[in-house]
Amino acid sequence: MLKRVLLLSASAGAGHLRAAQALETAFNESGNLSEVRNLDVLNYTNKVFRHLYSKAYIDLVNKMPEVPGWMYDKLDTPWKHQRRRLALDKLNTRPLVKLLREYEPDLIVCTHFLPAEIVAWLRAKERLKSRQAIIVTDFDVHAMWLVHHYEHYFVAIDEARAYLEALNIPSEKITVSGIPIDPVFAKKKDKAEMRLKHGLENDRATILLSAGGFGVGSVESLISALMPLQHRAQVVAICGRNAELKTRLARVAARANKQANVLVKPVGYTQEMDEYMTAADIVLGKPGGLTTSEGLTKGLVFAIVNPIPGQEERNSDHLLEAGVAIRCNNMPTIAYKLDRLLGDEARFAKMQSASKRMARPNAAREIVSRLIEIAG
For the sheet with 2-9, list strands across it: 33-40, 2-9, 107-110, 131-135, 152-155, 174-176
Question: Given this model, what pLDDT does residue 307 score?
Answer: 84
CA pair distance 122, 124, nearest whole angstrom: 5
Residues 87 and 210 placed together within one structural domain of the fold: no
Residues 84 and 201 placed together within one structural domain of the fold: no
Cβ pair 194, 280 in contact under 8 A: no
CA pair distance 35, 262, nearest whole angstrom: 49
331 HSE (CA, 13 A, CB side): 10
Residues 145 and 239 placed together within one structural domain of the fold: no
The total of structural domains in the chain comes to: 2
CA pair distance 79, 86, nearest whole angstrom: 11
H helical segments located in 93-230 = 94-103, 113-124, 158-166, 191-197, 219-226
Residues 260 and 166 placed together within one structural domain of the fold: no
Cβ pair 70, 309 in contact under 8 A: yes
Alpha-carbon separation of residue 290 from 20, 29, 268 (angstroms): 11, 21, 18
Residues 213 and 159 placed together within one structural domain of the fold: no
Question: Given this model, what pLDDT does residue 232 score?
Answer: 94
Q: What are the DSSP calls for 36-65, one per residue? A: EEEEEGGGGS-HHHHHHHTHHHHHHHHH-T
The series of mean pLDDT values per 10 residues for the chain, 376 residues long, is 90 86 93 86 82 66 70 77 63 83 93 92 91 96 93 97 97 97 95 97 93 58 89 91 82 74 89 96 92 96 88 93 94 94 97 97 96 86
Question: Given this model, what pLDDT does residue 214 score?
Answer: 47
Cβ pair 148, 262 in contact under 8 A: no
Antiparallel, parallel or unpaired: β 301-305 and 325-328: parallel
Rg (CA), the chain: 21
Question: Given this model, what pLDDT does residue 215 score?
Answer: 46
Residue 357, number of CB atoms within 10 A of its CB: 12
| Cβ contacts of 96 within 8 Å, gap of 6 or more | 41, 44, 45, 115, 118
Question: Given this model, what pLDDT does residue 213 score?
Answer: 47
Strand ranges inside the chain, DSSP E: 2-9, 33-40, 107-110, 131-135, 152-155, 174-176, 205-210, 233-238, 262-267, 282-285, 301-305, 325-328
Residues 7 and 87 placed together within one structural domain of the fold: yes
268: CATH: 3.40.50.2000
Cβ pair 74, 85 in contact under 8 A: no
Q: Is the pTM of this model over 0.75?
A: yes
Residues 272 and 315 placed together within one structural domain of the fold: yes
CB burial class (10 A; 0-12, 13-18, 19+) of residue 118? buried
Cβ pair 284, 240 in contact under 8 A: no
The residues pairing with 262 across neighbouring beta strands, listed in sequence order, are 233
Helices 334-343 and 345-358: crossing angle in degrees, nearest 10, is 90
Residues 91 and 110 placed together within one structural domain of the fold: yes
Residues 196 and 343 placed together within one structural domain of the fold: yes
Residues 122 and 147 placed together within one structural domain of the fold: yes
Phi, psi torsion values for 212, nearest 5 degrees: 90, 160
Residue 167, number of CB atoms within 10 A of its CB: 11
Question: Given this model, what pLDDT does residue 192 score?
Answer: 97
Residues 95 and 146 placed together within one structural domain of the fold: yes
Residues 125 and 138 placed together within one structural domain of the fold: yes
Residue 91's domain comprises 2-181+361-375
The residue type at 154: F
CA pair distance 201, 198, nearest whole angstrom: 9
